[in-house]
Structure 1
Amino acid sequence: MELLVTYDVDTTTPIGRRRLRRVAKICEAYGIRVQKSVFEIVCTDADWLVMRHRLLEIIAHEHDSIRVYSLQRGDFAKAEHLGHSPPAAHDEPLIY
């Protein structure tokens, strides 16, 4: 499955800034950062369930927001890039 994950974490407190780092770390483990708070993720259904659970444990539900858009396989390759925005290499390993 291909997921576009966006998040907005309240960073007005030190605890909020810590939550932001933790959300980013989880997303980095599963996908590629394409903008500051936007990740393109290619994963299995099982990976998504684990990732979702981990994110729900971290965020402050009354302050933070995560949006997940489920796309068809191959949609990332069809994305139009404007300006300085090189395509993400989804076929390469996340860890080098």
Structure 2
Amino acid sequence: MMVLITYDVNTTSVAGQRRLRQVARTCEDYGQRVQNSVFECLVDPQQLKEMQIKLERIIDPQTDSLRYYRLGANWKGKVQHVGAKQGYDPEGFLMV
């Protein structure tokens, strides 16, 4: 299933800046950054739960927030990209 993850981490402190980096690194383990604080993650239900646990251990719920948008298995018809930064297909071929 495709899950869109967005986050807002308070970076007014050194601890907040560290949390921001940790959240981004964790999201990179599961998906692709598509905007500054937005990731598209193609995961199964187990991976989603694992990722949520990791992310929710990192953030400070008093000052930070996470949002999960479950787009499901038929996500391709629900995502439209316009503008800069070429889109990608996580199910497509990867050339190295």
Shared fold (TM-score greater than 0.5)? Answer: yes
**1:18 aligns to what?**
18
Could you tell me how far 1:92 is from its partner in structure 2? 5.3
How many residue pairs get matched?
94
Superposed CA RMSD? 1.7
**1:47 aligns to what?**
47
**Structure 2 unaligned residues grouped into runs of 5+:** none
Instruction: Name the aligned partner's letter for residue 38 of structure 1.
Output: V
Change beyond 3 A, Cα 1:93–1:10: farther
Change beyond 3 A, Cα 1:74–1:33: same
Show CA shifts across 1:47-72 (max 9, x none): 01111110111100100000000012
Could you tell me how far 1:83 is from its partner in structure 2? 1.1
Helix, strand or coil at the partner of 1:88: coil
Moved over 3 A (4+): none
Instruction: Name the aligned partner's letter for residue 47 of structure 1.
Output: Q
